Structure 1
Amino acid sequence: MRKLMLALAAGAAVCAPLAAQDTNAVEQRTEHQQMMRALYADIIAFRTARGHQRMDEMVAYLVRRLSEAGFAAEDLMVTDYDSEGEPTQGLVVRYPGNGASGKKPIVMLAHMDVVDALPKDWDRAPFTLTEEDGYFYARGTQDNKYGVANLTGTFMRLKQEGWVPNRDLYLVFSGDEETGMISTRAQAKWVAENVDPAYVLNSDAGGIGLADDFSPLAQQVQLAEKTYVTFDLTVTNSGGHSSRPRSDNAIYELAAALTKIADHRFPVRESELTRSYFAALGRSVPGALGDAMTRFAEDPSDAEAIEIIRADPGFVGTLGTTCVATMLEAGHAENALPQSASAAVNCRVWPGEGVDSVKATLAEVIGNPDVAITQRAEATESGMSSFPDEVRVALAKSLAARFGREIPMIPNMSSGGTDGMHYRTLGYDTIAIGAGASRPEDIYSHGLNERMRVDAFYDGLDHWSIILKELAGS
């Protein structure tokens, strides 16, 4: 951690107005629900994407709100970082306990940054919370401004209730999870050296899967995640005049390489965790997909089941390593042959397969030594966490209160990368149990028109308070 200092924000942050909403619906909401909606709208209004440098404003806003709720200055820690040439910040919030339990602290994670959204591409303003047809629309409604808002609001409510936990609780909010994770790595190191928690709970994964009729299927519990790594593929030559085409056109060579990657399928992988995940989920997911999950859990070599699962973007990553082109750059003038062409290929590597092995596979698949393959940044390979019994009990209590019945809790491995990987590499069980609830077709994280169900937003507001009172109550 480059710098750690105590801070209180002076003055209020300038925020966009609340989204238009039905007056009668607002009047029917509790005071806490109305406060949470306002908090949600306010933090979404900060365009905390790389290149816009709004993180300090959002952090100042959160610090001000938490101090107004009763948190002392010494328990609000703002951290400054240089994230790959751009300033960002992190926030650590301590909720002091009375030590009565004799147990180690609990750390909870969320990230304050978002993937950028271009207003010209969206149907609605991406940084103004819009309520429409039963959904909240805006960048970050799911990933991960809901986690930030829900955890912050929970701490505020519990503090104002006068509740004192029997052990210390910490919120650790990072500022560049979507890019270099510089803040994440530094915060994880600081947590290990200064907090040494019993375990870490992550709001940025897990979540509740909903059926087509919005009934709950299961709470996913992320205990592992694949390794995130990006390779740059580059082809260069001397170029020339566009009126004199040559056979070694850099763009064509790169395109041929990318086509081969698109056609390649990495070997199917399975583990006890993924087999048990598919076995449990298969009982809830209807139709051919659920049947394929059940069959794969029983026989991971079932080719037909594999094809059905692979055809679903929500589950293909659970079957092995994936690599996909995400960015392109080529040429320097419309009337000149390209002197270079490059593409970013993002891979999510199955635990244990190894980044070097994947790089070697890409080179073999491409089969062209003129395509240079370079790794962008050091990859973090993390193991699998356990699911502590006390967390299992607390989560079950929260789900029962929310849905009025038992909901299956299914441990899984996430295909996406989160802050949690850096805590796992330091030896801490990291369990992602986000409060969000969505159907697969409603998951638009990183994409256009990101959204969250309005009822899911409100129904999840007690999620963390129930869990924390169970884990750290008298």
Structure 2
Amino acid sequence: MTMKAFLLAGALTISGQAAASEASPRDLTEHEQRVHDIYRDIIAFRTAAGHGQMDEMVTYLTDRLAEAGFPDRDLMVTDYDSDGDATQGLIVRYRGDGSSGAKPIVMLAHMDVVDALPEDWERDPFTLVEEDGYFFGRGTQDNKYGVANLTGTFIRLKKEGWTPRRDLYLVFSGDEETGMVSTRAQAKWVADNVDPAYVLNSDAGGIGLADDYSPLAQQVQLAEKTYVTFDIAATNPGGHSSRPRNDNAIYDLAAALTRISQHRFPVRESALTRSYFAAMGQSIPGELGAAMRAFAADPSDADAIDTISANPGFVGTLRTTCVATMLKAGHAENALPQSASAAVNCRVFPGEGVESVKETLETVIGNEAIAVSQRSEATESPMSSLPDEVEAALAKSLTARFGKPIPMIPTMSSGGTDGMHYRALGYETVAIGAGASRPQDIYAHGLNERMRVDAFYDGLDHWSIVLKELAGR
């Protein structure tokens, strides 16, 4: 569907921020309009590190939940210092009557985003824009859709007068994209005070769509690679730029990064990744699908490995990856650099180990003068299993959405989520996000992040169905 570009929302000002809007041509239900408005409003908050708008977004969400009938005692706002930057977390309790005798269920989402520079985008990244069948804006996929959908679902169920048979919790973190200080603290609080049956994450999983937007499969995230960043640093006495030396910190760093860029970590596989490729290979046409099936049958198939490795969407499922993401060098244009450093972000395949990756980088660089240091503590987490009742509830939601069952494929995420900290504490943590997209429409962390408008609305019954199945009568 192609629509004339227009802005959503009217002249709404949120804590000094403006979000523009017009009426949508789609006839919206009360629930759809509510979640759309929450989505629009929270995207207007620039909740990236350093902008100080997290507290405004948390206040906005707590106000909406309080208006729906959630008492103050069930809205817990927590303050954290994340690498010198103040942030907040939000925990919402939906009290059950305890009649099921079952442990609570925790749902995760994160309120922060990777920053977006308005001058780089075609549209203002902090104004929700609907154009050509997509919603554009920072966080439209990662992860303000999860925040809006879960918040709207809690409000919907409260307004219906529904009482769950077990407690339900929303746990929204404030620095998932950076230090995960709020995440770690929240996970510990949940373990100490809630001890849930399991944790459901909105920040991964989701439905893969074919080129024609038909559903291929629901991905169910049961594992994720370990997130770790290494600082690669070169130092030098420096000097005047008119007197060049044979050694130069920038050149030494450049040589080190070139070697890292040319290195491939060994292929790894597990029962989870083989089953994932076997299932995806049935749905993806052409050479890529054939390579997936071949790899599932024989993980040493070199041609299959090369084909999969050439696709950025799937290479992370094959091996550990390390890539340079940030640079810093020099102190004056007329002086030789005294230091040069780069951040190299790695996603470590489970079982390979962070220390092993560090040693590999040092070997690949082959220069003892280049220092490799781990930036912060890494969390290595085990694989989760899919509880039977969650699988059944998810199947019901998918059938309601598409009019027929669609496959559910266990996956391992290449990216990191809050879920790793709950897995590390021993909780089965399953990501079953309601989003749906084609691979070519995934722009999370990048320019012009977007979500299909129809996928946005079609996923708004997802959590209501799942929660009523898991906690209803």
Counterpart residue number, 1:400 = 399
Separation in structure 1 between the aligned mates of residue 353 and residue 283 of structure 2, nearest angstrom: 33
Separation in structure 2 between the aligned mates of residue 469 and residue 21 of structure 1, nearest angstrom: 34
Separation in structure 1 between the aligned mates of residue 23 and residue 360 of structure 2, nearest angstrom: 55
Q: Does structure 1 retain, via aligned residues, the 8 Å contact 2:232–2:373?
A: yes
Q: Does structure 2 retain, via aligned residues, the 8 Å contact 1:436–1:457?
A: yes
Separation in structure 2 between the aligned mates of residue 265 and residue 64 of structure 1, nearest angstrom: 50
CA drift at 1:20:
3.4
Separation in structure 1 between the aligned mates of residue 365 and residue 25 of structure 2, nearest angstrom: 60
* Greater than 3 Å deviation, 4+ residue runs: 15-24
Q: Does structure 2 retain, via aligned residues, the 8 Å contact 1:395–1:467?
A: yes
CA drift at 1:24:
3.3
Residue 29 to residue 16, structure 1, CA distance change in 2 (3 Å): farther
CA drift at 1:84:
1.2
Separation in structure 1 between the aligned mates of residue 431 and residue 248 of structure 2, nearest angstrom: 47
Residue 431 to residue 88, structure 1, CA distance change in 2 (3 Å): same
Q: Does structure 1 retain, via aligned residues, the 8 Å contact 2:321–2:346?
A: yes
Residue 426 to residue 23, structure 1, CA distance change in 2 (3 Å): closer
CA drift at 1:34:
1.3
State the superposition RMSD in angstroms.
1.0
Residue 23 to residue 389, structure 1, CA distance change in 2 (3 Å): closer
Q: Does structure 2 retain, via aligned residues, the 8 Å contact 1:21–1:131?
A: no
TM-score under structure 2 length normalisation? 0.96
Counterpart residue number, 2:316 = 317
Separation in structure 2 between the aligned mates of residue 116 and residue 291 of structure 1, nearest angstrom: 37
Report the secondary structure of 1:314's partner residue.
coil
Counterpart residue number, 2:234 = 235
CA drift at 1:125:
0.3
CA drift at 1:212:
0.4
Separation in structure 1 between the aligned mates of residue 397 and residue 196 of structure 2, nearest angstrom: 22
Q: Does structure 1 retain, via aligned residues, the 8 Å contact 2:104–2:169?
A: yes
Counterpart residue number, 1:4 = none
Separation in structure 1 between the aligned mates of residue 331 and residue 291 of structure 2, nearest angstrom: 48
Q: Does structure 1 retain, via aligned residues, the 8 Å contact 2:19–2:44?
A: no
Report the secondary structure of 1:455's partner residue.
helix
Instruction: Write the mapping of 1:73-472 to structure 2, written as runs, cut at 5 A.
Output: 73-472=72-471
Report the secondary structure of 2:283's partner residue.
coil
Counterpart residue number, 1:8 = none
For structure 1, the residue ranges without an aligned partner over 5 or more in a row are: 1-11
Q: For residue 77 of structure 2, what is the amino acid of its counterpart?
A: V
Q: Does structure 1 retain, via aligned residues, the 8 Å contact 2:14–2:41?
A: no
Q: For residue 54 of structure 2, what is the amino acid of its counterpart?
A: M
Q: Deviations over 1:350-393 (max 9, x none)?
A: 11111110000000001000100010001100000000000000
Q: Deviations over 1:194-234 (max 9, x none)?
A: 00000000000001000000001011000000000000000
Separation in structure 1 between the aligned mates of residue 468 and residue 410 of structure 2, nearest angstrom: 23
Separation in structure 2 between the aligned mates of residue 269 and residue 126 of structure 1, nearest angstrom: 37
Q: Does structure 2 retain, via aligned residues, the 8 Å contact 1:320–1:349?
A: yes
Point out the more displaced range, 29-38 or 106-115. 29-38
Separation in structure 1 between the aligned mates of residue 100 and residue 53 of structure 2, nearest angstrom: 40
Q: Deviations over 1:378-413 (max 9, x none)?
A: 110000000000000000000000011111000010
Residue 22 to residue 59, structure 1, CA distance change in 2 (3 Å): closer
Separation in structure 1 between the aligned mates of residue 128 and residue 235 of structure 2, nearest angstrom: 45
Counterpart residue number, 2:8 = none
Report the secondary structure of 1:283's partner residue.
helix
Residue 432 to residue 443, structure 1, CA distance change in 2 (3 Å): same
Q: Does structure 2 retain, via aligned residues, the 8 Å contact 1:15–1:45?
A: no
CA drift at 1:18:
4.7
Aligned residues between the structures: 461
Residue 70 to residue 210, structure 1, CA distance change in 2 (3 Å): same
Q: For residue 353 of structure 1, what is the amino acid of its counterpart?
A: E
Report the secondary structure of 2:412's partner residue.
strand
Q: For residue 319 of structure 1, what is the amino acid of its counterpart?
A: L
Q: Deviations over 1:165-199 (max 9, x none)?
A: 01000000000000100000000000000000000
CA drift at 1:33:
1.0
Separation in structure 1 between the aligned mates of residue 103 and residue 120 of structure 2, nearest angstrom: 47
Instruction: Write the mapping of 1:40-55 to structure 2, written as runs, cut at 5 A.
Output: 40-55=39-54
CA drift at 1:29:
1.3
For structure 2, the residue ranges without an aligned partner over 5 or more in a row are: 1-12
CA drift at 1:54:
0.5
Counterpart residue number, 2:10 = none
CA drift at 1:21:
4.1
Counterpart residue number, 1:14 = 15
Q: For residue 214 of structure 1, what is the amino acid of its counterpart?
A: Y
Separation in structure 2 between the aligned mates of residue 222 and residue 57 of structure 1, nearest angstrom: 31
Separation in structure 1 between the aligned mates of residue 326 and residue 457 of structure 2, nearest angstrom: 37
Q: Deviations over 1:22-47 (max 9, x none)?
A: 5533xx11121111111100000010
